[in-house]
Amino acid sequence: MRDYFSLDQLDRRSLAALCRVCHSFKDVALDMLWAELEDLHPLFPVFHEIYGLALEIHSYTLRRPVTIVEWSIFEQYASRVRVLGDGSSIFGDLEAEFVHTIMGLTSKLLLPNLRELCCGDCDPDLHACVRYFLSPVLISFQVSASARPD
29 within a domain of the structure (yes/no): yes
Predicted pLDDT at 6: 57
Does 61 share its domain with 76? yes
- The CA radius of gyration of the chain, in Å to the nearest whole number, is 16
Does 85 share its domain with 122? yes
148 within a domain of the structure (yes/no): no
Distinct helix (H) and strand (E) counts, the chain? 4, 6
Please tell me the total count of domains within the chain: 2
Q: How many CB atoms lie within 10 A of CB 17?
A: 11
Does 71 share its domain with 122? yes
In the chain, which residues have pLDDT < 50? 1-2, 51-58, 150
Predicted pLDDT at 52: 45
Does 43 share its domain with 28? no
User: At a CB cut-off of 8 Å and minimum separation 6, what does 127 contact?
Assistant: none
Predicted pLDDT at 84: 93
Q: Nearest 5°: phi and psi at 131? A: -60, -20
Does 139 share its domain with 71? yes
E strand intervals along the chain: 36-37, 50-54, 59-62, 83-84, 116-119, 140-143
Does 26 share its domain with 91? no
Predicted pLDDT at 112: 94
Does 43 share its domain with 66? yes
- DSSP-derived pairing of the beta strands 59-62 and 50-54: antiparallel
Does 26 share its domain with 53? no
pTM for the full predicted model: 0.79
Does 94 share its domain with 20? no
Give the structural domain span for 24. 7-33
Does 12 share its domain with 29? yes
Predicted pLDDT at 137: 95
Predicted pLDDT at 139: 96
Predicted pLDDT at 117: 93
149 within a domain of the structure (yes/no): no
